[in-house]
Amino acid sequence: MLCRDSVCRFVLMGLIVLFGLNGSVCLASTEITSEANNVNKLIIHTEAGKDTISPEIYGHFAEHLGRCIYGGFWVGEDSPIPNTRGIRNDVVEALKKINVPVIRWPGGCFADEYHWKDGIGLPQQRPSTVNSHWGMVTENNRFGTHEYMDLCEMLGCQAYISGNVGSGTPEEMHDWVEYMTFGGKSQMADLRRANGREQPWKVKYFAVGNENWGCGGNMTPEYYADLYKRFATYIRNYPGNNITKVACGPGWDDYKWFEVLLSSAAKSMDAISLHHYVFEGDWNHKGKATVFDEQGWFNTLKKTFFLDKMIVEIKKIMDKYDKEGRIGLFVDEWGTWWDVEEGENPGFLYQQNTLRDAVVAGCFLNIFNQHCDRVRMANIAQTCNVLQAMVLTKGEKMIVTPTYYIFEMYKVHQGAKYLPSDIVCNPYKSGSETLPSITASASKDKSGKIHISICNLNPEAPAELECSLEGFKVQKVTGRVLTADVMNAHNTFEEPDAVRPAEFKGIEIKDGKILATIPSKSVVVLAAE
């Protein structure tokens, strides 16, 4: 299987097939002559890089859902759990180590029924509301605009706010932007000052609604396009602040939505979103987080790679209406979605996080890197205690997940120059279906060091890899690996270090090439100097 970035070529019995991770299939055959012990070859073109991997590709998403905010980020100032102004110290310190570049908030479906004025002022005077999307629990609004912006400042990350289109008004959205970002004299700016914040904040990203085809209003693309232009008109750039306006895209391969929205509103947007969740079954029976077989492993990875096909098709539509490449694609919700853990509130979406989730995350991030010319932000769902979380908390206890370690290992790509690559790899087969056994992406940082992230999808077989860096003389290579003995290995509060990165040994430089054996079901990041 030969891959130019994400396009793979299989050498078959008397045939050559272009196989579509991006959808392009020329020929088909069932007999693949590649043997499992063939050496896989990765060729990195170190002088061909032209696009920068946006740090925001490694972004996060925090919704008022389950224990993501309350118990995850927020415990309140009177909590015995160590905190700073109500925000958990242990969670903040953990997230600092992975260089969180941006956090999307307050939703999600919650965003289109969130009225921001409920979350400002004295905490004890804020009204209680009902979180009708997620568990019908009472939302006390103790975590609002000031607390969110405080969190962003603690982490040193950008703010990405989803505005309320489904049940809100253009006036409400306009006032929120003015409240946060205007430094002069006005009713909203004075209200912010009265609530304890003298100087305006910087808000870099603002979305006009969330999933407006579904929980955000069940709209048609034509109707939403008109609403988008109306609402976006009133998102003002006040002195000292410049907002990237984000239009709502679909949550699956609905290319018509992109066509309609871009043909009507491209000039008034800076980015458009896409959501993509993966699981082993279907929406009603997604599968269990920790109980699965190899078929469940394969099915999940297959759905992960479908994202590549979608992005290729979406980029064609974007190129049609935005030839200059000004508009970014924000995959601002992505990740694994499993059936809720037994005994948990089904509306809280709490799930465990295994080695399978980590390998999926590595594959996702490699895809985003490969498409960094258009993909300029991605936000994993979600940061704490919900879906494919970075951290899990239980009272005063906190653990980090295998997925957290992927973000920690991959942070070297943030802001680096993407390096195109070719890969010849053995297939990973399940019945009549085939995936590449290896995916990879590479980048060069400002110091000139090259980082290569590699995923071995095969849970049974290690992969012999020969890596050539064209135009670069390798002097030294180091690496780290994340793997485990079993596919469903995961960290628990009793065994918090069951899955964690280790030094990757056995790397050899021979004839200017890097030689290594990539363990089965693993993610490896190499650093070449």
Q: Which two tokens stand for residue 474?
A: 């390798």
Cα 8 to chain centroid, rounded: 24
Contact 377, 328 (CB under 8 A): yes
Strand, helix or coil for residue 175? helix
Tell me the residue ranges of DSSP E strands in 51-156: 59-61, 83-84, 87-88, 102-105, 129-131, 137-139
CATH class of 55-415: alpha beta
H-type helices in 371-521, by residue range?
402-410
Residue recorded with tokens 């021979």: 510
Contact 431, 298 (CB under 8 A): no
Name the residue type at position 74: W
Ranges of CATH 2.60.40.1180 domains, the chain: 41-51+436-528
Whole-angstrom Cα distance, residue 53 to residue 126?
41
Strand, helix or coil for residue 335? strand
Q: What are phi and psi of 413, to 5 degrees?
A: -80, -15
Ranges of CATH 3.20.20.80 domains, the chain: 55-415
Strands 513-518 and 508-510: antiparallel
What is each CA distance from 366 to 416, 422, 501, in whole angstroms?
A: 13, 13, 18
Whole-angstrom Cα distance, residue 69 to residue 74?
6
Q: CB atoms < 10 A from the CB of 242, how many?
A: 12
Q: Which of 134, 123, 124, 117 is nearest to 63 (CA)?
A: 134
Buried b / exposed e over 358-376, threshold 16 CB at 10 Å, is: bbbbbbbbbbbbbbbebbb
What is each CA distance from 285 to 74, 154, 344, 358, in whole angstroms?
A: 31, 39, 16, 21
Question: For residue 214, what are the contacts with CB-CB under 8 A and spacing of at least 6?
Answer: 109, 251
What is each CA distance from 410 to 157, 253, 295, in whole angstroms?
A: 17, 27, 27
- Residue 5: is it exposed, middle or buried by C-beta count within 10 angstroms (0-12/13-18/19+)? buried
C-alpha count within 13 angstroms, C-beta hemisphere, residue 43: 10
pTM value surpassing 0.75? yes
Contact 335, 381 (CB under 8 A): yes
Catalytic positions are 211, 333
Whole-angstrom Cα distance, residue 115 to residue 191?
16
Strand, helix or coil for residue 45? strand
Whole-angstrom Cα distance, residue 165 to residue 233?
13
Q: What is the dihedral of CA 468, 471, 477, 480, to 10 degrees?
A: -70
Q: CB atoms < 10 A from the CB of 448, how many?
A: 10
Residue recorded with tokens 């958990």: 88
Q: CB atoms < 10 A from the CB of 400, how many?
A: 25
Contact 494, 505 (CB under 8 A): no
Whole-angstrom Cα distance, residue 128 to residue 119?
10
H-type helices in 97-240, by residue range?
145-155, 170-181, 187-194, 221-233
Reported as a single tens digit per residue, the pLDDT across 259-304 is: 999 999 999 999 999 999 999 999 999 999 999 999 999 999 999 9
Contact 397, 493 (CB under 8 A): yes
pLDDT tens over the chain, length 529 residues: 334 443 333 332 222 233 333 322 222 122 222 444 588 999 999 999 999 999 999 999 999 999 999 999 999 999 999 999 999 999 999 999 999 999 999 999 999 999 999 999 999 999 999 999 998 999 999 999 999 999 999 999 999 999 999 999 999 999 999 999 999 999 999 999 999 999 999 999 999 999 999 999 999 999 999 999 999 999 999 999 999 999 999 999 999 999 999 999 999 999 999 999 999 999 999 999 999 999 999 999 999 999 999 999 999 999 999 999 999 999 999 999 999 988 989 999 999 999 999 999 999 999 999 999 999 999 999 999 999 999 999 999 999 999 999 999 999 999 999 999 999 999 999 999 999 999 999 999 999 999 999 999 999 999 999 999 999 999 999 999 999 999 999 999 999 999 999 999 989 999 999 999 999 999 999 999 9
Name the residue type at position 290: T
Q: Which CATH superfamily is domain 41-51+436-528 in?
A: Golgi alpha-mannosidase II (2.60.40.1180)
Q: Which long-range contacts (CB under 8 A, 24 or more apart) does 196-203 make?
A: 196/146, 197/146, 197/149, 200/238, 200/240, 200/241, 201/149, 201/159, 202/158, 202/159, 202/240, 202/241, 203/159, 203/161, 203/177, 203/241, 203/243
Calculate Rg over the CA atoms of the chain: 23
Q: CB atoms < 10 A from the CB of 432, how many?
A: 6
Q: Which two tokens stand for residue 160?
A: 């990405």
